[in-house]
Amino acid sequence: MQEENAAQIQESGSVDIRSSRGNFHCLTIIGQIEGHMLLPPQNKTTKYEHVIPRLAAIEESPDTDGLLLILNTMGGDVEAGLAIAEMIAGMKKPTVSLVLGGGHSIGVPLAVSADFSFIAPTATMTLHPIRYSGTVVGAPQTFAYLSRMQERVIRFVTSHSRMSDEDFRRMILTTGELLGDVGTVLLGHDAVDIGLIDRVGGLSDALEMLYSMIQK
Tens digit of each residue's pLDDT (9 = 90 or more) over 141-179: 665 666 788 899 899 999 999 999 999 999 988 887 765
Average of per-residue pLDDT values in the chain = 84
Nearest to 183 by CA among 160, 159, 153, 156: 153
Of all residues in the chain, what percent carry a pLDDT higher than 90? 50
Find the length of the chain. 216
**Sequence-separated (6 or more) residues with CB below 8 Å from residue 172:** 127, 128, 129, 182, 183, 184
pLDDT at res. 101: 87
Q: Quick check: 2 pLDDT over 50?
A: no
Q: Which residues are catalytic?
A: 105, 128
pLDDT at res. 173: 85
Q: Quick check: 6 pLDDT over 50?
A: no
Q: Quick check: 88 pLDDT over 70?
A: yes
11 pLDDT tier (thresholds 50, 70, 90): very low
User: All domains of the chain, ordered by start, with CATH?
Assistant: 6-215 (3.90.226.10)
Q: Quick check: 83 pLDDT over 60?
A: yes
Q: Quick check: 44 pLDDT over 90?
A: no
